[in-house]
Amino acid sequence: MRQHVESPPRRRVTFKFAKTNVMKNKKGDVKKGTSLKKGDVLNITALLKRFPAVCALMLFGGSLSPLFSWGYDGHALINNGAIKNLPSEMKFFVKKRKVINKHVMDPDRRKGDDREEPVRHWLDLEYFGAPPFRALFEFKKPPREEDYKIRSGKLPWAIAETLEQLTEALTENDGEKIILLAADLAHYVGDGANPLHTTENYDGQWTGNRGIHSRFESALIKRYDSSVKIGTFSAVYVEDPLKFIFEYLIESHGRVEAILQADRKSCWEPGIYDNYYYDRMWGELEALINDCFSQGSFTLASLFYTAHINAAKNITPAGDSGTN
């Protein structure tokens, strides 16, 4: 389950925050006096006064969005878009595309068994200041849990870690591992393609758009997935994967506001999400959605390609990766 907070406190508890701008009610709309610095310590009373919405979440169990993710169709679209654009020498990925798709939802399936998994599917960029989110680039590793009782998410580091593991699997020429890790990488990169995985207002809960997350990534895409267009491109070798991933997520985040606006425009009657609503949403967002999927596919293809090149460098001249 996506959790912004740890277990709800039973009695007076102190919280430490690091580098947070936690309480932006809307993108770019910071409440005066809510910015906290590393090492700030608050007690629950102070927290209640300053952050009532967050405390309400804590007191009522603290989780909002259990299983948000593109459905299978969305993740498979991104994987297919990546693999069709890989250089011709990466035939293994082309041959195994369907098997990779079969496993593309594995990371979501692990969420129930592994407490650390859910937080790997999103990043609340607001925790790292305002655009261009320079503070984010200081984090070569995820923020320490103990500093982030209200979590920022770990998506970029999950992508980078999976890329390293995939590179190792390619170096070892372990076909099964390559498939599973390629699927994991496709999943995490695919999550980043959804702008709502990059914001603390991930369900429109602070802007009158509650429920937008599943309307956008599930219901709308289910209706229109066959209309999504992913163009052709050349995958690139990525020198600095983490920076590349950060930039990808920041670009994705730039689409949040347009989605929220389209949601407001398309809803003709509060709470009614009918054919009219979805048709109008698609009309408003078709170009943006094509960009989400194209950018996701380009990023994934480039990371696959980078793993392939780096693995080839690791292999001795006499070796054969077997994945060409």
Name the site residues for Zn ion (rule: CB under 5 A): 69, 108, 121, 191
Q: Which is nearer to Zn ion, 111 or 308 (CB)?
A: 111
Residue 128 Cβ vs Zn ion, minimum distance, rounded to whole Å:
20
Q: Which is nearer to Zn ion, 196 or 301 (CB)?
A: 196
Amino acid identity, position 72: Y
Q: Which residue in this structure is represented by tokens 């709309």?
A: 29
Tokens of 57: 């979440």
Residue 187 Cβ vs Zn ion, minimum distance, rounded to whole Å:
6
Q: Which is nearer to Zn ion, 123 or 150 (CB)?
A: 123
Q: Which is nearer to Zn ion, 121 or 215 (CB)?
A: 121
Residue 188 Cβ vs Zn ion, minimum distance, rounded to whole Å:
7
Residue 69 Cβ vs Zn ion, minimum distance, rounded to whole Å:
4
Which H or E run contains 2?
Answer: strand 2-3
All residues at 6 or more sequence positions from 202 whose CB lies less than 8 Å from its CB, including other chains: 2, 64, 65, 68, 122, 124, 196, 213
Contact 233, 84 (CB under 8 A): no
Burial (Cβ within 10 Å: 0-12, 13-18, ≥19) of residue 92: buried
Q: Which is nearer to Zn ion, 108 or 126 (CB)?
A: 108
Residue 1 Cβ vs Zn ion, minimum distance, rounded to whole Å:
12
CB atoms within 10 A of CB 236: 14
CB atoms within 10 A of CB 42: 17
